[in-house]
């Protein structure tokens, strides 16, 4: 099953409605051979985790520009762990100050991609860090 595409959920938690970056990333990852579930804007952490569960994704990619990352992102990772999905890779992108990154990573968030990151870098990171799949 090594050929199966990696399945990624791209979600925008929080209240900002700017989804251009998320859509560009979704298309870019599609072109890199990923299967990308896109759910649109204004997703709560609970919606994101329920979606990850139903879709059985390998990766949750969170795009956040609203400044609420220190609240929302740890909420997603802790809900995932509660639901037995602690092995799902969580990454973040958007506007996140460098000073906040250690706190996010301590909460279980993987790489935090700042503005200017290329799609290729994201794809390479995901391929290298995604959990192995059963079956």
Stretch that binds other proteins, among 32-40, 64-72, 91-99, 111-119 (CB under 8 A): 32-40
Question: 98 vs 134, which CB is nearer to other proteins?
Answer: 134
Q: How many residues bind other proteins (CB under 8 A)?
A: 35
Using rule CB under 8 A, residue 16 touches other proteins: no
Identify residues 61-90 at the interface with other proteins (CB under 8 A): 81, 83-86
Structure tokens at 53: 């569960």
Distance set, CA 79 to CA 24, 35, 48, 67, 91 (Å): 27, 23, 10, 20, 15
Residue span 96-115 as binding mask against other proteins, x where in contact by CB under 8 A, dash where not: --------------------
Using rule CB under 8 A, residue 45 touches other proteins: no
Euclidean distance between the first and the last CA atom of the chain, given in angstroms as a whole number: 7
Phi then psi dihedrals of residue 21, to 5 deg: -60, -40
Structure tokens at 115: 């503005």
């Amino acid at each position: 099953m090594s050929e199966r595409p990696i399945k990624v959920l791209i979600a925008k938690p929080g209240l900002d409605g700017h989804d251009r970056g998320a859509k560009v990333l979704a298309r870019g990852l599609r072109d890199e051979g990923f299967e990308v579930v896109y759910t649109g804007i204004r997703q709560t952490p609970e919606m994101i985790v329920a979606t990850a569960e139903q879709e059985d994704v390998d990766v949750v990619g969170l795009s956040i520009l609203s400044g609420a990352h220190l609240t929302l992102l740890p909420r997603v990772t802790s809900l995932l762990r509660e639901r037995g999905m602690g092995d799902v890779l969580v990454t973040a992108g958007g506007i996140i100050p460098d000073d906040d990154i250690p706190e996010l990573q301590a909460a279980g968030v993987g790489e935090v991609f700042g503005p200017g990151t290329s799609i290729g870098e994201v794809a390479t990171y995901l391929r290298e860090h995604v959990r192995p799949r059963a079956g």
